[in-house]
């Protein structure tokens, strides 16, 4: 089990896969068997349905990562935890029961992340920010308040993408911690000015969340939302898995460091 009162976040970068010595290795040309072996039949089928290899790699890496860290936390083989979804579609643990363990995962082009918490629900979102073409008016109106949207005017493309994804990842992490995901109107999530907290103001629920941010790579931004009861001043622990290409793209625990 992870220690009481802990939130852990794990990431896997898929862009520059490196050998142990740090030399860049080739990216896989199919989802490695070692990753597929960690998935359950439903996850495998969903992975196979994705058309682009990059999406299949990120999906499989995320679900393999989740099973590895859940298994480690529960002291079980990765395949043993039985996952199901709640009525909002949020993945939850069906067995073993009574663990008090919460988790969430996110995947995007080139990066996968999984969060575990023993202090209540948790939500994580990771996004690649080097896609300014995606930022159309409809998406901005969905994700940002009018004043946040007008603050984008006049910014360079890079600064605009940074500002947009800072708000997007924070709101998506909160929506996923809450469990309603994209069905929660994003502008009902009010972000604190200092970026360290958020309040869901509607519908019906007013709830505070703590927020943390991380840059897991030059082009990726991650936000994590956790219970406000997580001790004041406490920081989540950050772990990373790396992929060793010459070893059948084995997933290896590489780094365990304090939140940056
Ligand atoms: C969750 C959601 C915000 C995903 O956002 P995204 O940027 O596309 O993807 P991310 O990689 O960040 O997160 C996806 C993961 O969030 C998790 N997730 C799905 N629904 C979730 C929810 N309601 N709350 C929290 N997490 C959720 C899943 O693990 C999912 O990964 P998977 O599809 O590979 O199993 C969005 O799809 C959503 O709101 N879904 C709920 C509504 C819905 O479509 N339900 C369908 C019924 S299954």
For residue 176, the ligand 1 atom closest to its alpha carbon is 25
Q: Domain 1-120+229-260: give its CATH code.
A: 3.90.470.20
Identical fold for domains 1-120+229-260 and 123-216, yes or no, is yes
The two tokens of residue 176 are 């996923």
**CATH T-level assignment (fold) for domain 123-216:** Ribosomal Protein L22; Chain A (3.90.470)
* Ligand 1 centroid to residue 66 C-alpha, Å: 14
CB–CB of 81/95 below 8 Å?
yes
Domain ranges of the chain: 1-120+229-260, 123-216
Chain-centre distance for alpha carbon 64: 13
Q: At what angle do helices 53-74 and 41-49 cross, to 10 degrees?
A: 160
List strand residue ranges (DSSP E) for the chain, in order.
7-13, 82-85, 91-95, 102-108, 111-117, 122-128, 189-191, 197-200, 207-217, 220-227, 237-244, 250-258
For residue 179, the ligand 1 atom closest to its alpha carbon is 24
Ligand 1 pocket test target in 55, 86, 182, 225 with most atoms within 8 Å of CB:
182
CB–CB of 134/153 below 8 Å?
no
DSSP annotation of 26: P
pLDDT at 124 over 80: yes
User: pLDDT tens for residues 8-20?
Assistant: 999 998 887 655 5
Q: Indicate the pLDDT class of residue 117, thresholds 50, 70 and 90.
A: very high
Phi/psi-derived region of residue 164, left when phi > 0, alpha when psi is between -120 and 50, beta in every other case: alpha
Which of the residue ranges 4-18, 79-93, 199-213 has the most confident prediction, judged by mean pLDDT? Answer: 79-93
User: pLDDT tens for residues 130-186?
Assistant: 976 778 899 999 999 999 999 999 999 999 999 999 999 999 999 999 999 998 999
* Ligand 1 centroid to residue 13 C-alpha, Å: 20
């Amino acid at each position: 089990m992870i220690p009481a009162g802990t939130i852990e976040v794990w990431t896997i970068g898929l862009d520059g896969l490196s050998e142990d010595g740090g030399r860049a290795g080739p990216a896989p040309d199919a989802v490695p068997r070692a990753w597929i072996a960690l998935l359950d039949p439903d996850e495998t089928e969903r992975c196979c349905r994705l058309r682009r290899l990059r999406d299949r790699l990120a999906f499989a890496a995320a679900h393999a990562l989740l099973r590895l860290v859940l298994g480690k936390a529960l002291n079980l083989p990765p395949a043993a935890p039985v996952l199901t979804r709640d009525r909002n579609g949020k993945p939850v643990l069906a067995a073993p029961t009574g663990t008090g363990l919460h988790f969430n995962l996110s995947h995007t082009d080139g990066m996968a992340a999984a969060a575990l918490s023993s202090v209540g629900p948790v939500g994580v979102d990771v996004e690649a920010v080097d896609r300014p073409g995606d930022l159309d008016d409809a998406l901005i109106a969905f994700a940002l308040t009018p004043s946040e949207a007008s603050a984008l005017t006049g910014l360079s493309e890079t600064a605009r993408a940074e500002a947009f994804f800072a708000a997007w990842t924070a709101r998506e992490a909160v929506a996923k911690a809450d469990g309603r995901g994209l069905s929660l109107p994003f502008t009902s999530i009010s972000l604190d000015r200092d970026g360290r907290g958020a309040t869901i103001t509607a519908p019906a629920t007013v709830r505070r969340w703590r927020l943390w941010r991380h840059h897991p790579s030059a082009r990726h931004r991650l936000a994590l939302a956790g219970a406000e009861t997580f001790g004041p001043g406490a920081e989540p622990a950050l772990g990373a898995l790396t992929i060793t290409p010459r070893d059948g793209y084995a997933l290896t625990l590489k780094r365990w460091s304090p939140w940056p």
